[in-house]
Each structure stands twice: as structure tokens, then as C-alpha cells.
Structure 1
Amino acid sequence: MADESSDSTEETRILRRAPLNTGAAPSAPTSEPVTQIVPRAQPVAVGPPRAARADPKSAIATAVTSILSGWATTVIATDLITGWWATDPLFCVAMGFLAAVSAAASISGLIALLLRRRTARLLVVVGAVIALLIFASLFVAGANLPALVYAMPLLPAASIVLAALPATARWSRSA
């Protein structure tokens, strides 16, 4: 039993909160103030300064012309497929495949451009080049077309030029 009582006093001594030395508390010197004002921390720039935000005008123009180019390409490919299906189904299947690849490249390029991805410009250019192939097939097939259709290949060409601009590259890199 004596061992049990000594164990309990050791446990309470370890957990004791009162200081062992119960002498008088030291007093603060009266010549210095008890509290001091700590100056506020000043912000410090770390790393190189950020470059100015790139102008989004060329990227917006690229996106708009790419959307219009995709719309025009889809209209022309659909017209080709419906008009020529009875005479040349293989040609129509090829146009459908090219239209699907052009649409996939253009749509993913537009999304990537808006998300400022590096591959965006390449995808927009690939979609526009395939659209130019579709328009070239119109002229090779000798289709009877309205005059407006002859101006439509300017849209994919404009998409290529706008995607290749250095300002579009700067905008896509300045995320």
C-alpha cells in the first residue's frame, strides 16, 4: 500500500501546475514602458515582376472567325453530302469525315484558346486547313454555287492568319 501512495504523489507532482519556487515575482523596471508598439510588417516583392496582361483582341478575333468558319464549313459540307449522295456516295463519305475532323479540331481549338492552352492555335489551324480542303473539293467537284460561297474560304484563311499572330501567342501564354 505504501508503494501505491508514492506512485500517486509522483503522478500529481508531474502534473502539478504551481511553480516549485514560490518566491516573489520579479518586478519590471520602471524606466522602460511595459508595452512597446511593434511596427507593422511591410510587404516585400518576391521574384521577378509580372508582365502586363496581354491584349485579348487577337484571341477574340481568332475565336470569332473560327466559329464562323466552322459554321460555313458545316453548311457547305452538309449541302455537298445531300446534293451528291445519289451520284457519288464515296465522295460524300469523305466530305463527312473531313467535316467531322474539322469540327473536332476547331471546337477543341476554341475551347483550348479560351482556356489559354498552348496547343490551341495549332488545333485552330488544323481545323481551318481541313475546312480549306472541303472548300477546295467544292471547286474540284464543279458544283454550281452561289457567289457568296466563293468568298467563304476567306473565313478559314482568316482563322489561320489570326491564330498565327504573335499577339494571339502572347495571350495564350499569359495565363
Structure 2
Amino acid sequence: MPEGEPQTSYIEPASLQETGYIPRPRPTAIPKQAGDADPRTAVAAAVVSIVSGWATAVIATDLITGWWRTDRLFCVAVGFLSAITAAAIIGGLVLLLLRRRMGRLLIVVGSVISLLIFASLFVAGAKLPPVVYAIPVLPLAGIALTMLPSTARWSRSSPADHSAPTA
């Protein structure tokens, strides 16, 4: 910059800037966990979630057809909740089997909403066979299997760890 001209920026010339020592990052070894991730709990969670979603759809359909003439708002609410449950469980199953972490969350959300639908049976005072009142065990089992540490470990492991060797 020639003498006498005004400075037009806030950046100082390179000769006036101070420099500091920035240490180079050191690589660290991440210890590998003992044993491979076991897919059994993830598969069990998927199977229980499929059966739970089916049971929820059956109960929701029965509620809607049985109460449509008397309480349409209740039926619309149950239909909306069952659509949300189906979307969450199906999306969660796909993501879980693709080993994405979000799959576990979606299965839990779908199962909790499924429990809300079953709770509406009691609120509505519906007369159903006694076996129907045991169905909430399925979403609870789905939540429990999905939240197990072994399912989390399996969903975090990469699919390349379990692939067959290619020749």
C-alpha cells in the first residue's frame, strides 16, 4: 500500500499479522468392541413391531366400524392415530433393518401411539373379547426389544461388518 493512501479494509498486511503454533491432531485408536453385533434382538424387535402394527390396525378398524354411527369425531381421531402409527412403525422398521438410528426412535413413537389407541378402548368403554385387552403387551415388547443395548449396537454397526466375503 503506497504511503499516504487511506486503508480500505480491516485486514492487516501479512507482515503485520501475528502467527501462532497450532498443534497437529494426533490420531487415536478406537477400541473395537468384543464380538460382533448380534442381529437377534433387532430381528425380534422388527417381528414384534410388525405383529403389533397389524394388531393395532385391526383394533382401530374394529373401533371405527363399531362407533361410526354414534361418535364420528372419535372415529376420525382413532383413524388419524392409526395412520400415524402405521407410518411410524413401517418407516422405523425399514430404517432399523437398514441400521439407521432413527429407526429405533420411530418404532418407539409408533408403539407409544399404538398404546394410545388401546387406551381409547378403555375410554370408549368398548365391549371386546378378553384377548384384545392383552394386545398392549405387543407394543410394550416392541419398545423393550428396540431399546435393548444389543439392538442399539447392531444398528450402529456397519453392514460391511456382516457381509459375506466375495471371491
Pairwise TM-score range, normalised by the shorter structure: 0.7 to 0.9
Matched, 1:149 2:132: yes
Q: Does 2:41 align with 1:53? A: no
1:103 maps to which of 60, 82, 86 = 86
Q: What is the TM-score with the length of structure 2 in the denominator?
A: 0.75
* 2:21 is the alignment partner of 1:66: no
Equivalent positions of 1:30-41 (< 5 A) are none
- CA deviation map 1:34-87 (0-9, x unaligned): xxxxxxxxxxxxx76755420011101100110010000000000000000000
Aligned counterparts of 1:86 and 1:149: Cα–Cα separation in 2: 22
Percent identity of equivalent pairs: 69
The match for 1:140 is: 123
1:1-175 counterparts in 2 under 5 A?
51=33, 52-175=35-158
Q: Which segments of 5 or more consecutive residues in structure 2 lack a partner in the other structure?
A: 1-28, 159-167
Structure 1 CA distance, aligned partners of 2:117 and 2:99?
28
Report the TM-score, using the length of structure 1 for normalisation. 0.71
Root mean square deviation of aligned Cα: 1.3
Counterpart CA distance in 1 for 2:32 and 2:157 is 10
Give me the whole-angstrom Cα distance separating, in 2, the residues matched to 1:81 and 1:58: 34
Aligned counterparts of 1:75 and 1:165: Cα–Cα separation in 2: 27
How many residue pairs get aligned? The number is: 129
Compare CA radii of gyration and give the structure with the larger one: 1
Deviations 1:103-133 (A, max 9, x none): 0000000000100001111000000000000
Matches of 2:77 and 2:31 in 1, distance apart? 52
